[in-house]
Structure 1
Amino acid sequence: MDGGTFRDRVQAAKSTELDRLGSASLLAALTDADPTTRRVLEAAADSEHAAHTTFSRWAVDEDDERVRQAFEDVADREQEHRRRVLAALPASASGYEPHDGGPLHEYLRGREGAIHRVAAGMVGRGLVAERTHSRLVSFFVDAGDSRRADLFRELRAETEAGTERGLDLLTTLCETDGDWTDARAVAEYTIQVAYDDYVDALREADIDPAAVH
């Protein structure tokens, strides 16, 4: 197998979950059904902050030099994304401090080994983040806010590049069919964790997940 085939199979297996994570109802889930500009940007900053923390921790104990450098680069990228999102907040949110954690990053931080971490963090989370950024682009386009829409187009492109880098790493890390099977399992489960969190958030906001698409 190669990285491209791996991505295609993961996306095919989790197509429903990924489609729904990129739907308009995502913003309701992220903001307790209050998708204002401020709430949407705060949710985005929280996500970038949690990712920075996850990849920073992984970089500390990674023995493979190439993987360690990738984790450091992703951590730096997420830190920069957080800075750019915070800079885009309206003046009324001045001083907002992003929150860490959440089910997705709790799951990621429990992964051990380069294959599992790359597959879950760089590929599985990357595919989820690409959908999130696309939805945020649409939100700001609909609001007539080209500046913030362009910001999330840039973040999406940078995230997609990170996903491709993760796929390239898997091509070198996975030496057996069993390695690829393990990588696919954690990548798909990462998407499932994100989707389950999305469904739970809709229910907490008194929105029936079955009634939205």
Structure 2
Amino acid sequence: MDPADTIETVRETTATELDRLGSDKLLVAVTGATLEPAAVRAAAATRERGLARTLERWGVEASDTTVADVFTDAAADAVDRADRVDADAEDDDALVAHLETVADSPARVGAGLVAPALVADRFYLQVVNFFLNEPDRASADLFREIRTAAADLEHARVALESLSSEEREQAAAAAVDAIEAVYADYAETLEAMGLDPRPVC
């Protein structure tokens, strides 16, 4: 399994979860139904700050130089995105909380580089749509740029290149676990609000 196959495996395995995380209910869940610009920005800042903190620590702990450098670079990119969001972070969200449980380096590549990019693509799609509906074109444009940056899988590809085929399988499994953890939290949050996380057909 090469890096491209690894990423595609994760994407295909979690297609249902990612599709549902792209629902307009997502911001209801992550803001606690507080659909206001400040709350949406805080959710974005929380994700990026928490991701940056975790990846920075992993960069220090990684024994593989390439993987360590990728974690460090990805952390710096997350800090840049958080700075552009310009909001205070709150308590760690479900993704960052899950990352704190991941120990092995191959698993960290999947959970910390592959999964966040795939989830970010869905999350920031809804953030862009939110600001378009405000209407706040400047903020929508900003978050469109942040979405492109956050969903970029180049860091993941570089790190996966340094892993063996067996380690890529571990990375793929860990990425799937991370996405499923995010989805489980999303579904449980909506169900507690009396909402169905499944799409209405």
Residue 152 (structure 2) pairs with residue 152 (structure 1): no
- Partners of 1:210 and 1:56 lie apart in 2 by 35
The question of whether the paired residues in 1 share the 8 Å contact of 2:74 and 2:155 is answered with: no
Residue 154 (structure 2) pairs with residue 164 (structure 1): yes
> Which residue in 1 is equivalent to 2:20?
20
The unaligned stretches of length 5 or more in structure 1 are 90-96
Q: How does 1:1-213 map to 2 (within 5 A)?
A: 1-86=1-86, 97-161=88-152, 163-173=153-163, 175-176=164-165, 178-210=166-198
1:55, CA displacement in angstroms? 0.9
Q: 2:47 is paired with a residue of what secondary structure?
A: helix
Deviations 1:87-126, CA, capped at 9 Å, x for gaps: xx6xxxxxxx312423322221222232111111100121
- Partners of 1:12 and 1:99 lie apart in 2 by 31
The question of whether the paired residues in 2 share the 8 Å contact of 1:116 and 1:186 is answered with: yes
- CA spacing shift, 1:211–1:116, aligned 2, 3 Å: closer
The share of aligned pairs that are identical, in percent, is 34
The question of whether the paired residues in 2 share the 8 Å contact of 1:49 and 1:100 is answered with: no
1:212, CA displacement in angstroms? 5.2
- Partners of 1:58 and 1:45 lie apart in 2 by 20
Q: 2:111 is paired with a residue of what secondary structure?
A: helix
Letter in 2 for 1:80: D
The unaligned stretches of length 5 or more in structure 2 are none
1:84, CA displacement in angstroms? 1.2
Aligned pair count reads: 201
1:210, CA displacement in angstroms? 4.1
Q: 1:209 is paired with a residue of what secondary structure?
A: coil
